[in-house]
Structures are given as structure tokens and as C-alpha cells.
Amino acid sequence: MLASSLVLSGAIGAHATAPENLLPGEKPAATNAAPVAPVTAPVKPKATLPAETGFDSAFPKMVSDPVVQGDLTVQAAPLVQPWSIANARELVRIISAIGAEGLDPKDYDLQPLKTAIASGPSEELDQLASRSFAWLVEDLRDGRTPMSARKQWFVVDHDHSMIRTGDLLGAALESGDLAGILSSLSPTHPDYARLKAELAATPADQKEKRKLIRANMDRWRWLERDLGSQYLITNVPEFQLRLTVKDKIISTYRTIVGKPGRTATPQLAETVEGVIFNPTWTVPQSIVKGEGLGAKVLNNPAWAKSAGYTATKGANGWVTVVQQPGPTNSLGRMKLDMPNPHAIFLHDTPSRHLFANDDRALSHGCIRTERALELAITMAILGQGATKEEAVEIATSGKYTRVPIEKRLPVYITYFTMATDINGELKTFNDLYDRDTPVLASLDQPRVANRGIKTDEEIIVIEDDLRT
């Protein structure tokens, strides 16, 4: 209700005036202040799928309890269990129709399974059917794409440990509702159902489009099935950020993302732990030393003062440069504190004119956000770290202040090249970083078993100088 009342009141809605105009009488913070000590705001008290589309589906029905989750304090049920002929035949029917989910029947040993069924109940049937079911679970729950093809995808999906394969198998065989159990694994975000419907409506001869749809359906499986009741999600190729509450878009913000190459924005699922108003910026050594900024600040005090820089030189000659809060600060007037090893976060920028560009792959990896102060105030309120009045007062103080977030607020940095845009239209986006190529290629390769759930790809620590 908090999000709805916030928007309906017109205080900070999707079409509200930018906070720079929303906050009358605001004056730029001084740029010649000494380094400020961090100030922490007081902690406040904690305050279905669309209609049937008419096409054949592997899953014609849903179970009332959408996910079977076993008791995680006990050992998972075995991965091989006894199969009746009726259940095995139902499995054959599901596999034969699994193309509706963007998967390929040939990945699931369909013909050997049919042969085993013809011979009647046996240990061989139990082994084959249990294995095919487990493979379906893995692909529907975790995604079919091997980790090696998920470039710069650092999201860790915990569904495999919360929704265990053996427990699903036992529940399916006991109830006979294999289709319902498997359908419950589908991502809950409306875009998955939208892509599934588009796949059904796309003729078989449009092979490239069908592959692109399938690839983006699979990307939804790489995330956790349920993203939460309220979260931020940004689609990098779209250059848009959404504040979403119960899968409804509350606000949208244009973004600036990483340039292609080593500064490309990685894909993450993190949590906002705080909102930093009027941030300082500790300049990376690649700029302090590599670009000579340290010497410039030390040797030109007047220029340094006007740009808001302060420098300290240690006994060992090491120079540290910090840019103080103010209108020229490279992080702008806010950043969302979302700790991660990549040093990626969402923040403001003094170069707000760049949001008018169509191609906004301009940063060194971090995500610069349009109307960032509006977003920061909204996050502080939603996270129950401050009231609107307190947040506005903090924002206009010109002082570094971190407002802690008491309520969990996930942030998903995703990469979809076919998705619903902010106007509700299914759209194809430019593959900025050529991340489609390995995913599309994997669809033509045999299914990879035991493919792991976490990437071992290099973590590139972002040093965003923001001076474009």
C-alpha cells in the first residue's frame, strides 16, 4: 500500500517532476568543504498466468500449491523412484509437447523411454523416467543454457536448493499430476508468459525469431522463480530501470550503462542496503595516478577547490583523492548502496543531458539513473528508513548521509534482447555486448548435464570515472 499511496499522491510518481524542481529553494552544496565524516540517518521503526491462448501446451493445468518444497531440514527424496506405466505415459506426453516451453523433446531420451514403457514396469523404466523428469526439472527451474554461455551472468539462483528435484519427483509420482508439478516451476514474471505466447504465435519457418524467443525465455529461468513483492529491475539493452511492486510498474527511469568491452555492465542480483545522499567519490588510482589527477589536485588548489576535490599524500607518497558532495560530484547527488564484488551500483550523474541520447552505453559499468534523487527518496521511503519529509531534508542538506534500508529491496540487473518495453509492447533490443551469440549457439548443441549453477568467469571491478 505504501508504494501505491506514494504514487497516487503525486509525491514521487512515474511522471512526477524531477526532484531538482520538486525541491524548491535548494542551493548547491559548497565544493570547498573539508572531507566530511559519514553521517547515518536514524533508523526508523520497521513499518497468475494470463488467460489460455488456445495453443497446445506441455502443461495444461496448474496445481493449487504452485511449488512443491520439501522439508529442507531433512534429506531430499531420492532421484530415482518407482514409476507406474500411467505416470510414464504422462511423462512421454509432456516431453512430446515441451516445445511450448521453448525446450526440445530430443533432450529428454523420449524414444528409449517409449521402448521401456512397452516392456512394462521395470528398474530400467524407473531409471529412465526418473532421469528424464530430473532433466526437465533442471531445465525448467534453472535454465537449459550452460553457464559457459551465460557471459558476465553473476546472478546466483537459489531455486535448486529450495525446490529440490527429488521432492518434486516424489510429489509428482504420488499425485500423478506431473504436468502441474512441472508447470509450477515457470518464472512468475509476466514476461515469461508473454514470450511463451509469442513463441506459440510464431510460425515454425521463422527459425531465427523462435530461437531468440527461446533464448530470452531461458534467461528468465536463470533468475529466481519469484523475484519478490517489490524490487528494482533494469534491462541493460533497453536502457531502462523499473520500480516494480507485485509485478506492476510503479516508475520507470532511463539509464546509462557500461560501454561494450571490459566496462560492459555485468548481470547481478543484489540487495539495496542503504541510500547514500550527497555521496563522496573516492577516485580510483587508475585516475589518480594513471591520469595524473593526484598531481593536478595537489599542484592546483584553486582548480581542485572549484571541482570539489581534496587530496592527501601519505608518508610513502601515496596520494588519495576524494571528491566532496556538490553539483560537480561524479556520482551526482545519490547512490544506492548495494555491496557486491564488482563495485557496481546505481547512482546519479551531473551529466544529465546524456539521458537524451538513444544509445546510452557510455559508462564504465555502473548504472547512472535518470531522476536519481526521486528514486533515492522513493527507496528511502519504501525501505522505511525515512519519511518523505526526512528524506527531502537529508537530500537538500548537502551533507553525506547514508539512510539504511530496513526492508529487503532486491535489485536485478538483467540482459534481455526480447522483452516487454515500458509501454507494454513486446520488443527486440540491440544486443549491445553480443551476449546472444553463445546462448543461441547452445540451443543447437546437446543438453549439458551437471553444468553447475555458478559462473567462474572473471570479476571485473568497475572504476567508473563518469567523465563522459
Banded model confidence at residue 70, pLDDT cuts 50, 70, 90: low
Task: Report CA-CA distances (Å) from 208 to 211, 215, 437, 444.
Answer: 5, 11, 12, 12
Residues in the chain: 468
φ/ψ (deg, to 5) at 311: -130, 145
DSSP 319-363: EEEEEPSSTT-TTTTEEEE---TT---EE--S-GGGGG-S--EEE
Banded model confidence at residue 464, pLDDT cuts 50, 70, 90: very low
> 82 pLDDT exceeds 70?
yes
pLDDT > 70 fraction of the chain, expressed in percent and rounded: 82
Q: What is the pLDDT of residues 360-385, one digit of tens each?
A: 999 988 999 999 999 999 999 999 88
DSSP class of residue 362?
E
Predicted pLDDT of residue 364 = 85
Give the C-alpha separation, 400 to 334, whole Å.
9
Give the C-alpha separation, 381 to 129, whole Å.
51
> 117 pLDDT exceeds 70?
yes
**In the beta sheet, which residues pair with residue 268?**
413
Q: Looking at domain 2-47+229-280+324-414, what is its CATH homologous superfamily?
A: L,D-transpeptidase catalytic domain-like (2.40.440.10)
Average pLDDT over residues 112-130: 97
Q: What is the pLDDT of residues 224-266, one digit of tens each?
A: 999 999 999 999 999 999 999 988 999 999 999 999 998 999 9
Average pLDDT over residues 77-98: 97
DSSP class of residue 403?
E
Predicted pLDDT of residue 456 = 75
DSSP 368-389: EETTHHHHHHHHHHHTTSS-HH
Question: Which residue in 379, 311, 385 sits closest to 345, CA to CA?
Answer: 379
Average pLDDT over residues 29-44: 39
Predicted pLDDT of residue 4 = 32
DSSP class of residue 235?
E
Please list, in sequence order, all residues whose beta carbon lies within 8 angstroms of the beta carbon of residue 466, skipping any fewer than 6 positions away: 330, 331, 349, 351, 363, 364, 366, 368
Among 28-42, 228-242, 339-353, 435-449, which stretch is predicted with the lowest mean pLDDT? 28-42
Location of C-alpha cell 536514524? 42
**In the beta sheet, which residues pair with residue 321?**
311
Predicted pLDDT of residue 72 = 66
Banded model confidence at residue 408, pLDDT cuts 50, 70, 90: confident
Give the C-alpha separation, 263 to 147, whole Å.
21
pTM of the model: 0.83
Domain boundaries, the chain: 2-47+229-280+324-414, 65-226
